[in-house]
Amino acid sequence: MTALLQHPGYDEERLKGVAEKLPCREVQAEMLLSLMGQPHQYSYPSILIYGHRASGKSHVMHVLMKELELPHATVSCVECVSIALLFEQVLLSFFGCDAASLLPRSPSLSDFVRVYRQQCSQSPAKQTRYIVMEKAELLRDTDASLLSALLRLQELVGDNVTVILLSEIAWDKFRPNTGCFEPLLLHFPDYSKSELQQILSQNVHPSYSAGFYSAYINILLGVFYSVCRDLRELRHLAALNFSKFCEPLAEGKVKETDTHKLWKHIEPHLKKAMQTVYLREVSSLQWEQMQQMEEKEAGALRGLSAHTHVELPYYSKFLLIAAYLASYNPARTDKRFFLKHHGKIRKTNFLKKNEKTSNHLLGPKPFPLDRLLAIFYSVVDSRVAPTASIFSQISSLVTLQLLAQVSHDDQLDAPKYKCAVSLDFICAISRTVNFDIVKYLYDFL
């Protein structure tokens, strides 16, 4: 297979090294190398590599750059809180500190191009320079011209430079309205099951045989492949559960080759892992501790989402209940629920057509502050003075993200809110104050 990676202009030995480090990505590496051409040749101005998470994009680029010792700058776009940082990093890795300090305080794109040209004339490129931009989809949120400029940077600076964008998103979602230079597209497909098997089996535990470990990986993939194809996660899970897998071996009950017994031992354990540690309900550290504990003790550990109970002050509870009612009941039905002599209203002919569908399926609707307070005063059983703390409780409910403010922060006059809690949550809350909320909900009438 290594034979595939032969390319004029690069050292054979090094190419071999590259091939070893890139299992199951030979085709893509080969493709990239042929796009890059020989080191001194001009390369295509911009290349977009896309594929799912953990499909080896960054890894391939990293290995190629490092092993072949090509001049490059790797920039992660998340980290570049400002474009200045991006420019600085590029200049820093191509021309050293002095060049980076030439940039003015808040540089524009043309500043960058100017400095680049100036430096480039002093030290012209003997080889193609590469700028690798990770998480390139974030470039869309920055200045619109930046992406188009980067795509044809070669032209702008007049240097042998290639921009390689790495992204999880296909090019169609990138293309700006104004149109731009089209980069070469290169897709990294997901690893197949056998490829995953091959890659994961490489990380053999030093004190066990390769065959044994590969059998373990096979079992692991059997459980997890249907839910997770992320190489990084799978490797993590493999590391977490391996000690449990070896347990019967250490106790001397089973031989290494007795795969069926090993499978029987580990399978329920892996199933449990899928529900807990994979979802990060339980942290990896706790998971490891749990394995060491006895079975019955381990049951005591509860996941993150098990703790849903929130203690609230008395009036906050009622405010939340009022907010829930206001969000999920049509405003016209308030009369029916909160007025003493409302008369009888039939559900069917009283409603417009669209209100007949369940409000709970449509999600919470915004309501003005007045309505919230009106419902609050009729719901709460005692007389409440409209004190400042009632109002401050509303805003603290917003900071706790139990309510969401729909209108803009600046709007002082009649602000609007939405209730952001689930039915289960509000039922639990209203149970603590002996309020039967279901009786007041239009959907359950």
Binding residues for another protein, per CB under 8 A?
Answer: 53, 76, 78-79, 81-82, 84-85, 88, 105-106, 203, 205-206, 232-233, 235-236, 238-240, 242-243, 279-280, 283-286, 304-305, 307-316, 370, 374, 385-390, 393, 396, 399-402, 413-414
Task: Output the smallest distance, CB 311 to another protein, in A.
Answer: 6
Closer CB to another protein, 10 or 318, in the complex: 318
Position 337, amino acid: F
The answer to whether the CB of 55 falls within 8 A of the CB of 196 is: no
Closer CB to another protein, 34 or 399, in the complex: 399
**Helix or strand holding residue 64 (H, E):** helix 57-68
Q: Which residue in the block uniquely carries the two structure tokens 């002093």? A: 122
Task: Output the smallest distance, CB 385 to another protein, in A.
Answer: 5
Closer CB to another protein, 17 or 368, in the complex: 368
Long-range contacts of 333-336 (CB under 8 A, 24+ apart): 333/442, 334/371, 334/374, 334/375
Position 14, amino acid: R
Closer CB to another protein, 53 or 335, in the complex: 53
Task: Output the smallest distance, CB 180 to another protein, in A.
Answer: 25
Neighbours of 64 (CB within 10 A): 24
Task: Output the smallest distance, CB 331 to another protein, in A.
Answer: 15
Sign of CA dihedral 112, 117, 120, 122: negative
Backbone angles phi, psi at 303, to 5 degrees: -75, 175
Task: Output the smallest distance, CB 227 to another protein, in A.
Answer: 11
Closer CB to another protein, 122 or 399, in the complex: 399
Q: How far is CA 197 from CA 209, 235, 270, in A?
A: 16, 11, 17
Closer CB to another protein, 4 or 339, in the complex: 339
Closer CB to another protein, 310 or 423, in the complex: 310
Task: Output the smallest distance, CB 64 to another protein, in A.
Answer: 19
Task: Output the smallest distance, CB 13 to another protein, in A.
Answer: 27
Residues 6+ apart with CB under 8 A from 309: 428
* 304-340 per-residue burial string, b: 16 or more CB within 10 A, e: under 16: eeeeeeeebeebbbbbbbbbbbbbbbeeebbebbbee
Q: Which two tokens stand for residue 14?
A: 């090094």
